[in-house]
Amino acid sequence: MTHRKVALVTGASSGIGNAIARSLHRNGVIVYAGARRVSRMNDLDDLGITTLALDVTDPISVENVVDRIVSETGRVDILVNNAGYGLMGALEDVPMDQARDQFDVNLFGAARLIQSVLPMMRQQHSGRIINITSVDGKVAQPLASWYVASKFALEGLSDALRLELEPLGIQTVVIEPGAIQSEWADIAAEHLRTTSGQGPYKPTADRAAAILTVVKQFSSKPRVIARLVDRAALSRRPKTRYHAGSGSQILVARRFLSDKMIDHLWQVIGEAAERFAR
Ligand SMILES: NC(=O)c1ccc[n+]([C@@H]2O[C@H](COP(=O)([O-])OP(=O)(O)OC[C@H]3O[C@@H](n4cnc5c(N)ncnc54)[C@H](OP(=O)(O)O)[C@@H]3O)[C@@H](O)[C@H]2O)c1
């Protein structure tokens, strides 16, 4: 059995998760990287990272992955709950089964992984649970009600969890990315188009699409989040929360702005984005 730290990173087939897996590996951590599209993780295989088929909505898949890690290494030190996507569209237009799937991936998926690694972490009297939320976990963006709700929920779940796991020697850390280059914005834009691209919400959807287009151009590299995860995972006394990436400064401003000011800010950002996109 090993003395190197062992990590499981979910959603490692793309964007932020891929960068996190690489960076932890570079820092000497034994990394297990999971996602549904295993073939999209060949680059990680080439680095010597173990890649595994993982669907966070499937309890059997989650159990298989954690069992394999424990049987091969005898421990789990770090869980990075990164798998997630952005369901967009007006609440009135989004079918409830899609809303449930959003929560199943972004919230219950993370919880499933947490439940699965906790027996090992409790036995070790140590462990780090790192939940990737979003700026949208604190500041709502238009036509993203279910995504925003899932990330607000993950923020709240993490706060409660931090308190209940701290006496057991297990730390919970939240990472709040701003806009990051990945597949996220394209998947979100596709939801927006198919769900509310026509009908009464079209003008709001067009504006939200313009914001996504602009935001994409100013997005930060995934490695800025990977660096924060390294700190959350490996520093002796991690902070409770970290944020980075384009636009994440709004989290600081949020503390001083009223709800009405934030609403007005979206109006201003929306108008500017539409001008920019023309
Ligand atoms: N990019 C941003 O601007 C941004 C900003 C704030 C927060 N975030 C958050 O950061 C996290 C990573 O997103 P990203 O930007 O890197 O997006 P991405 O490029 O679309 O990557 C998302 C990852 O999640 C995985 N995933 C989705 N559903 C899954 C499931 N059921 N089971 C297992 N894995 C699943 C995908 O893998 P498979 O499809 O292969 O399963 C993929 O590897 C997400 O939680 C996202 O909400 C992103």
Catalytic-residue membership of 147? yes
Q: Which string of DSSP letters, residue by residue, matches 137-180?
A: GTS--TT-HHHHHHHHHHHHHHHHHHHHHGGGTEEEEEEEE-BB
pTM over 0.75: yes
* Contact criterion met (CB below 8 Å) for 224 and 244: yes
CA 82–ligand 1 middle distance (angstroms): 6
**Closest to 228 in 3D by CA, of 271, 265, 190, 174:** 174
Q: Which whole-number Å values give the CA distances from 138 to 175, 207, 250, in the listed order?
A: 12, 21, 9
Q: Would you put residue 247 in left (φ > 0), alpha (ψ -120 to 50) or beta? A: left
With a 6 A CB cut-off, is 10 part of the ligand 1 pocket? yes
Position 278 scores a pLDDT of 79
- Of the candidates 32, 85, 147, 242, the residue annotated as catalytic is 147
**Nearest atom, ligand 1, residue 133 CA:** 7
Element (H, E) at 6: strand 6-10
With a 6 A CB cut-off, is 150 part of the ligand 1 pocket? no
Report the 10 Å Cβ neighbour count for 8.
28
What does pLDDT average to in each consecutive run of 10 residues of the chain (278 residues)? 87 98 98 98 98 98 98 98 98 98 98 98 98 97 97 98 98 98 95 96 95 93 98 98 96 93 94 89
